[in-house]
Amino acid sequence: MGNLSGKVALITGASSGIGKATALAMAEQGATVGLLARRQDALESVASQMGGKGLVLVADVTDENAIQENVAQLVSKTGGLDILVAAAGISLKAPFVETTTDTIRRIMEVNYMGTVHVTKAALPHIRERKGSLVAVSSLTGRQATPEYSVYGSSKFALQGLYDALRIEMLREGVHVGVFSPGFVDTPLRYSVLQGNGLVHEKPPVPPLRLWPVETCVKKILELIRKRKKEAMVPGFVRYLFALNDLVLPDWVSDYYLRYKFGYLGRNR
């Protein structure tokens, strides 16, 4: 039995990608896991792989009432809640000038408000057990990135929320952490939105390394186990951020990102 034996976790976005992989890993370590996403069939498929440790919770994270009801249902069945991993999200790659306000609202509703809703619902139960709140963010929520202005801003907001919440919860003994990966090899890569809200016909080619989801899961579990405030993939990027802030002039990082994302010599 693993080191999560007896713990109860809730994971949003649990039907695929980082959420699914984290749920399976937690069940292997002995946790009972509430699997929350919109697609019941996909959730039932995940639960079938968890040896009775998975509880299916069907809801859209943008529906605050549904989230409240499902969290209450999970706590009623299990007796409490120790861990939240807010992994639900959608991606967008498009220049800001080509992105409609409706699409911007959709990104913020899912990525930011979806995390707000589930955090609000879970926090009272997490406080009782002095457990963990973890938000899955992105490196674009730490570093402005061309054509990820809208997606990144939703993650910047998420970073700010959880950073402040961590300080607020210190006296309560609640662990609050943020996991920020780069490009990850998950099904999300095939449903990246354009500025008009439609999915790209061809998935955008990542300009940087595509990381395996298993690497992300290991980082998330370590974040929870060590009650760290943040984890990143790749891990070395934290030192690059520090170097950029303290030593390098702004134009160095700007030049690098313009080069990697194809913006050198372009008037856009």
Cis peptide leading into 234, omega within 30 of 0? Answer: yes
Question: Which residue in this structure is represented by tokens 């959880």?
Answer: 162
Distance between CA atoms of residues 54 and 131, nearest Å: 19
Q: Which two tokens stand for residue 219?
A: 């980082």
CA distance 102 to 94: 14
Q: How far is CA 199 from CA 70, 204, 229, in A?
A: 29, 10, 33
Catalytic entry in 151, 162, 255, 259: 151
Sequence-separated (6 or more) residues with CB below 8 Å from residue 187 = 16, 17
- In 3D space, the residue among 83, 174, 63 whose CA is nearest the CA of residue 136 turns out to be 83
Question: Any catalytic annotation for residue 239?
Answer: no
Residue 242, token pair as written in the block: 């520090």
Which of 108, 106, 115, 102 minimizes the C-alpha distance to 61?
A: 115
CB 57 within 8 A of CB 74: yes
> Catalytic positions, please?
151
